[in-house]
DNA sequence: CAACTTATTGAGAATAATCAGCAATAGGTG
DNA sequence: CACCTATTGCTGATTATTCTCAATAAGTTG
């Protein structure tokens, strides 16, 4: 949950014997410049990169997303659509959580400082190294409460 | 997030034109009698039912898990293993959250009253009908911090 | 900067979880 | 009991994600 630059990403990768590649650099950049509230799936990222003129194979995309999530650079979100979404993982003033309608998947972001504190404290108490901490609220939105569509 | 009995399950199903079947009743019972801290996948439930002498088809299991999660009877958990897990959804004194090691998937449950309150308040403020509210902490456990296994 | 080691990439095949279609069955209601 | 239709259990799709492997290219060393 730090702010990354190409340089700090390279430093952290090299420290573990890994490498900074153009692909990894571009993917980080894409996420850093995404409008607030955007959540990308692997497929979304694939298309974005293609349109951007920097095509990257799906294999590499999946590998990079997993890598960056495990480094704490990206957050892996399960937004109830059957596939994962990702967003940049930022600290305190930008850190947020998600309220999701399980029927239409409409998602609202909200902030709450106490939760990150709780997460940090809990991880620390158990000796875990914190990567991400997210409150997920599953609910039914006002529109879907009225709708007659079953399930 | 209520305590269900076969009768109250039937009432809630019938109210929506749905039916209480032996399969649904048994699945509810299984979850209610699970030892604290147990999380079942669809496959786990399938096997449990088979061993129990009450075999139910995988299709029905998937359908029932989804149904009960959307009713708020079960919680759908994404415990970083590539497939969903489920547990009974209970109110205040039993309500808990999960601290997950992204490397070995070891999961620790912990309680925190404030989070459920935050979730309830947030859902209410947006007019959403709350089903479940879970804090997920992704982290690396002490053992895996020491391990040399990459990723 | 040239040689060297090995992490990484891209293409395609393989896997695994979950869903869909459909005929047969069985709840709920009167 | 008779009727309507939700539900079940097969089976056969989907679809997201991972694996395999040869080719490429970071990072390091002399
Ligand atoms: Mn978000
Ligand atoms: Mn649990
Ligand atoms: Zn909705
Ligand atoms: Zn671990």
pLDDT tens readout for residues B5-60: 999 999 999 999 999 999 999 999 999 999 999 999 999 999 999 999 999 999 99
Residue A129 has pLDDT above 90, yes or no: yes
Which residue, among A107, A119, A130, A141, would best test binding to B if mutated, counting the most B CBs under 10 Å from its CB? A119
CA of A144 to the centre of ligand 3 (A): 4
| pLDDT for position A1 | 75
Residue B81: is its pLDDT beyond 90?
no
User: CA of A26 and C1' of C21: distance in angstroms?
Assistant: 43
pLDDT tens-digit readout, A59-113: 999 999 999 999 999 999 999 788 999 999 999 899 999 999 999 999 999 999 9
Q: Could you list the residue range(s) of the whole structural domain that residue A121 is in? A: 6-146
Judged by C1' against the alpha carbon of B67, the nearest nucleotide is D7
Summarize the confidence of residues B132-142 as an average pLDDT: 97
Q: Give strand letter and number of the nucleotide nearest B56 (CA to C1').
A: D9
pTM, full prediction: 0.94
Residue B81 lies in a domain: yes
Judged by its nearest atom, the ligand closest to the C-alpha of residue A134 is: 1
Residue A89: which CATH number?
1.10.10.10
- Total domains in chain A come to 1
Q: What pLDDT score does B1 carry?
A: 75
List bases, strand C, within 7 Å of protein CB.
7-12, 16-21, 26-29
Note whether residue B122 is domain-resident: yes
- In this predicted model, what pLDDT tens digit does every residue of A9-52 receive, in sequence order? 999 999 999 999 999 999 999 999 999 999 999 999 999 999 99
| Cα–Cα distance, B40 to B88 (Å, whole number) | 10
Nearest CB among B112, B131, B145 relative to A129 is that of: B145
Beta strands at A97-101 and A129-140: parallel, antiparallel or unpaired:
parallel
Q: What confidence tier does B150 reach under pLDDT thresholds 50, 70, 90?
A: confident
Ligand in closest contact with the CA of B108: 2
Nearest to A145 by CA among A90, A89, A102, A116: A102
Examine residue A1 and state whether it is found in any structural domain, yes or no: no
CA nearest neighbour of A70 among A12, A140, A113: A12
Task: Judge whether B58 and B47 are in contact, CB under 8 Å.
Answer: no
Residue A148 burial by CB count (10 A; 0-12/13-18/19+): exposed, middle or buried? exposed
Q: What pLDDT is recorded for position A84?
A: 97
In a domain, B1, yes or no: no
Local confidence band at B151 (pLDDT 50, 70, 90 cut-offs): confident
Question: B151 in a domain, yes or no?
Answer: no
The reply to whether A113 falls in a domain is: yes
Question: Which pLDDT does position B144 carry in this prediction?
Answer: 92
CA distance A3 to B103: 23
pLDDT of residue B17: 95
| Angle at the Cα of B89 from the Cα atoms of A115 and A84, rounded to 5 degrees | 60
Q: Identify whether A151 is part of a domain.
A: no
What is the model's pLDDT at position A65? 98
3-state secondary structure (DSSP) of residue B47: helix
pLDDT of residue A80: 79
A81 found inside a domain: yes
């Amino acid at each position: 949950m730090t702010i990354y630059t190409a340089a700090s990403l390279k430093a952290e990768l090299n420290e573990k014997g890994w490498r900074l590649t153009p692909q990894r650099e571009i993917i980080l950049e894409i996420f850093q410049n995404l409008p607030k509230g955007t959540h990308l799936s692997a497929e979304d990222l694939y298309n974005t990169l293609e349109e951007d003129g920097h095509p990257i194979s799906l294999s590499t995309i999946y590998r990079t997303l997993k890598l960056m999530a495990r480094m704490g650079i990206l957050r892996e979100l399960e937004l109830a659509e059957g596939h994962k979404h990702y967003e940049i993982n930022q600290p305190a003033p930008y850190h947020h959580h998600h309220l999701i309608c399980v029927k239409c998947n409409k998602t609202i972001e909200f902030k709450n400082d106490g939760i990150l504190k709780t997460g940090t404290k809990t991880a620390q108490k158990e000796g875990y190294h914190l990567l991400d901490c997210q409150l997920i609220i599953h609910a039914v939105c006002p529109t879907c409460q009225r709708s007659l569509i079953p399930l």
